[in-house]
């Protein structure tokens, strides 16, 4: 396989990571809403933790974007 096409295939494979991070982020907010609707009084106090979980899940998806960008534009 030519290196140029291998790079593009690798960048495409890195997009799987973005989709996986989408599952993760959806899971964070989904679980939060599910429990926030059960106990709305406690929901506001947990928003900090909500965004920490969101940030952790999102970072891993962004890393796969970085991998794709490096493969396309740098490597």
Partner 1 sequence: MAEAGKVDPMHQFTIEPMFGTDHWEIAGYSIPFTNSALWMAITTVALFLFVWGGMKRQLVPGRWQMAVESMTSFVDNLLAANVGPAGKKYVPYIFSLFMFILFANVLGLLPLMLVGVHPFTFTSHFSATGVLAIMSFAIVLIVGFWRHGFHFFSLFVPHGTPLWLIWLIPVIELVSFLVRPFSLALRLFVAMMAGHVLLEVLSSFVIDSMNSGALWGTVVGLPSFLLMIAICALEILVAGIQAYVFALLTSLYLNDAENLH
Please, what is the minimum distance in Å from the beta carbon of residue 57 to partner 1? 11
Give the C-alpha separation, 29 to 32, whole Å: 5
Give the C-alpha separation, 61 to 66, whole Å: 9
Q: Is the Cβ of residue 37 or residue 73 nearer to partner 1 in the bound state?
A: 73
Radius of gyration of the chain (CA): 17
Site for partner 1 (CB under 8 A): which residue of 24, 59, 71, 75? 59
Residues 16/64, Cβ–Cβ less than 8 Å: yes
Site for partner 1 (CB under 8 A): which residue of 65, 70, 71, 75? 65
Binding site for partner 1 (CB under 8 A): 45, 48, 51-52, 54-55, 58-59, 62-63, 65-66, 69, 72-73
């Amino acid at each position: 396989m030519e290196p140029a096409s291998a790079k593009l295939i690798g960048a495409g494979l890195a997009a799987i990571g973005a989709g996986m991070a989408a599952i993760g982020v959806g899971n964070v907010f989904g679980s939060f809403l599910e429990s926030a609707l059960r106990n709305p009084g406690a929901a506001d106090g947990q928003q900090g933790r909500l965004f920490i979980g969101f940030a952790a899940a999102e970072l891993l998806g962004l890393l796969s974007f970085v991998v794709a960008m490096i493969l396309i534009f740098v490597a």
